[in-house]
A = this chain, B = another copy of it.
Amino acid sequence: MSHAAGPQPPRQLHLNINILHSGFVPSAWRVAEADPHAFIDVAHYVRVAQIAEAAKFDAVFLADNASIADQIGFRPITALEPTVLLASIAAATSHIGVIGTASTSYNEPYNIARRFATLDHVSAGRAGWNVVTTADLGSARNFGREAVPDHTERYARAAEFTEVVKALWDSWEDDAFIGDKINGHFVDADKIHPIAHHGKYFDVQGPLNLPRSPQGHPVLVQAGASPDGRDLAARHAEAVFSASQSFDESLAYGRELKARAAAYGRNAVKVLAGLTTIIGATESEALRRRDELVDLIPWSYSLTRLAGTLGIPADRLKLDEKLPDNLTLPGGGNGNHTFFHATIAQARRHGFTVRELIRSLAGGGGHRVIVGTPEQIADDIEHWFKAGAADGFNLMPDVLPGGLQDFADGVVPLLQQRGIFRTEYEGRTLREHLGLARPDNARVWQKSA
């Protein structure tokens, strides 16, 4: 069955809310309005999602990690498992998409195919899977490994994993389900196919025990910055989260990625740039808010975190000096490329000392931070969007839900007035929000023997 896309609406900005527990700034949980329990409180996540839905955001996004942070003492951690939490969020919302992260290194493709397809069914077509390979040692040691698998192996496994998941999602033809009560034909078994995958990492017979999901399959999301990561994104991702600190980097990243995707015959990948906002009625009020938040973070915490991103001992960083020269990718190229490069570029561009760098990142881990009035933020977003440096943003407010509420009240109306963001949902599925067609079943099945 063919699912032709309808007439294209004018290009629209996309906005996701990244619900990182109490907010992106590490001290977010310490502000007066914050409940320290929020990181494990489903009501907190639902409340944030409902604010985002009222503001007509495309999706909720949940990061993930299957280990405890090394610096467990100071700040909240990624705790609740995304697919279960997103099902709770989906039940309390009606339109907003629900995108969850899951690792290809520490799961099995059948389980992931099934769980995200289930999320797509229970949310009536609002699910997305953010494919990650997981680079931290803590996770490796929770899954029987004494070291992080090397970068090449992780991405080779991720590529095969993603292909198996997509094949499983397509293992039922679209018209395999019959439901003929009179004649007792529940499904047409000839239209449900084993995938018989036998690869380097996986042997999976299939079929999946679920019909194709409302969106055809969940939206595939990726965030790779390394060459292997970009290749995976180009081959499979329908939306990509980027971590570019500057307009030029983001423009170049998006162009390069879309060219790679086009080389695979794909022309519908959306680039969503990570963006932390710190909003004030005036710029100086916003800067004061940022400084108050940063002052609530112990410098020892920020230094250790920055050193982790850079792959060096914390004592090599001096608060009032610049970053050391000759930094190399952590783990012999096995670390997190995205934040390593973005952080160094940010420091070099502005000539920052370590203290200034940490302040400019709002204590954060590498995503871009804008500090300013709603007008300033809307201007920045409009500029990036119209010039093609991003198709949208993965918003990571300083504090949740307050920072999102400020964005919804102050920035969203400006974007709507400027005609670049929806005032009502036009569709019901995440694909419809993102302007992505429902994919045809990619497999041409032989008649089963």
Contacts and interface: CB of A to CB of B under 8 A. Distances in A.
Interface of A: 27, 29-31, 34, 36-37, 40-42, 65-69, 72-81, 83-85, 87-88, 90-92, 106-108, 110-111, 114-115, 118-119, 121-122, 138, 141-146, 177, 179-181, 184-189, 192, 202-211, 296, 298
B108 A77 contact: no
A122 B85 contact: yes
A37 B118 contact: no
Contacts of A121: 40-42, 80
A144 B203 contact: yes
Give the oligomeric copy count.
Answer: 2
Nearest to A188: B73
Contacts of A106: 108, 110-111
B202 A84 contact: no
B87 A184 contact: no
B80 A87 contact: no
17 contacts: A36-B177, A40-B121, A66-B110, A66-B111, A72-B187, A79-B209, A79-B210, A80-B122, A84-B115, A85-B87, A85-B118, A85-B122, A87-B88, A106-B110, A106-B111, A108-B143, A110-B143
Contacts of A65: 209
Contacts of A73: 185-189
Contacts of A29: 179, 181, 186
Given A40-B121, A42-B121, A83-B115, 16 more contacts: A36-B181, A40-B210, A40-B211, A65-B209, A68-B208, A77-B209, A79-B210, A80-B210, A84-B122, A88-B91, A141-B203, A141-B204, A141-B205, A142-B206, A143-B204, A144-B202
A399 to B, nearest CB: 13
A296 B186 CA distance: 13
A38 to B, nearest CB: 10
